[in-house]
């Protein structure tokens, strides 16, 4: 005699699937609060694209910044705009190991967000105790962005921003650099004729944007 398995109501089955997939996703993206080495802060679904080392919290111990890419973005026919990359900042601990300082899934552009130019992520560096991230993309009309992040008051804040626009056909370009702490702004314009012009001004100083609230808009 064949026994029939009890039927699971549709709502319960759907709830089960939602819990299963959300739990699986969480395990893929979970970043621990501390670990013995850099690899401990790389979720199972990710790979290290680039990293930089330097002292970010002024305690004399080297810290590390990681830019991680999801393994899925290298698969064929994937919509990579929906696949987030991660920025992970970890502080070195006296005696060894690291602790998590911050992470963001909205500070690094996706693989195909650079348009015809290709992958827009250019570099991550530690410069004078700040995290500097560069992106570059476009086609004939090229664009570039630099974001400068600093650890202060127990968190990470955007203290500087540089935007670039360039016409690779005629050589015209414009670079706008803004110090978000002082409000100082410098604009450099290059005319197709080769004539250059630099202007300096002040813009209103606003509350700094925290990394936890930041979304890359370009």
Rounded distance between C-alpha atoms, residue 87 and residue 60, angstroms: 22
Residue 3 φ/ψ, nearest 5 degrees: -90, 135
Q: 20-47: string of b/e by CB count within 10 Å (b at 16+)? A: eeeeeeeeebebeeebeeeeebbbebbe
Q: Which helix (H) or strand (E) holds 13?
A: helix 10-29
Over range 93-122, report the average pLDDT. Answer: 94
Residues paired with residue 39 on neighbouring β-strands, in sequence order: none
Rounded distance between C-alpha atoms, residue 51 and residue 65, angstroms: 5
Which of 50-64, 72-86, 140-154 shows the lowest per-residue confidence on average (mean pLDDT)?
72-86
- Global pTM value: 0.85
pLDDT at 44 over 90: yes
pLDDT of residue 80: 65
Over range 126-133, report the average pLDDT. Answer: 98
pLDDT of residue 110: 93
pLDDT at 27 over 80: no
pLDDT of residue 200: 98
């Amino acid at each position: 005699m064949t026994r029939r398995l009890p039927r699971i109501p549709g709502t319960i089955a759907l709830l089960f699937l939602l819990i299963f997939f959300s739990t699986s996703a969480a395990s893929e993206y979970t970043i621990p609060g501390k670990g013995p080495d850099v690899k401990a802060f790389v979720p199972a679904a990710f790979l290290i694209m680039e990293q930089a080392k330097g002292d970010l919290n002024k305690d004399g111990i080297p810290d590390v910044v990681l830019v991680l890419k999801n393994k899925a973005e290298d698969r064929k026919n994937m919509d990579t705009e929906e696949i987030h990359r991660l920025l992970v900042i970890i502080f070195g601990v006296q005696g060894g190991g690291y602790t998590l300082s911050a992470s963001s899934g909205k500070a690094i552009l996706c693989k195909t967000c650079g348009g015809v130019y290709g992958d827009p992520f250019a570099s991550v560096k530690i410069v004078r105790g700040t995290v500097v991230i560069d992106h570059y993309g476009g086609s004939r009309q090229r664009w570039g962005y630099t974001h400068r992040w600093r650890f202060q008051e127990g968190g990470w804040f955007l203290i500087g921003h540089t935007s670039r626009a360039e016409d690779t056909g005629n050589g015209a370009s414009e670079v706008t650099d803004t110090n978000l702490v002082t409000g100082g702004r410098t604009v450099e314009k290059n005319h197709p004729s080769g004539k250059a012009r630099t202007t300096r001004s002040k813009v209103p100083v606003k509350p700094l944007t925290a990394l936890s609230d930041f979304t890359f808009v370009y």
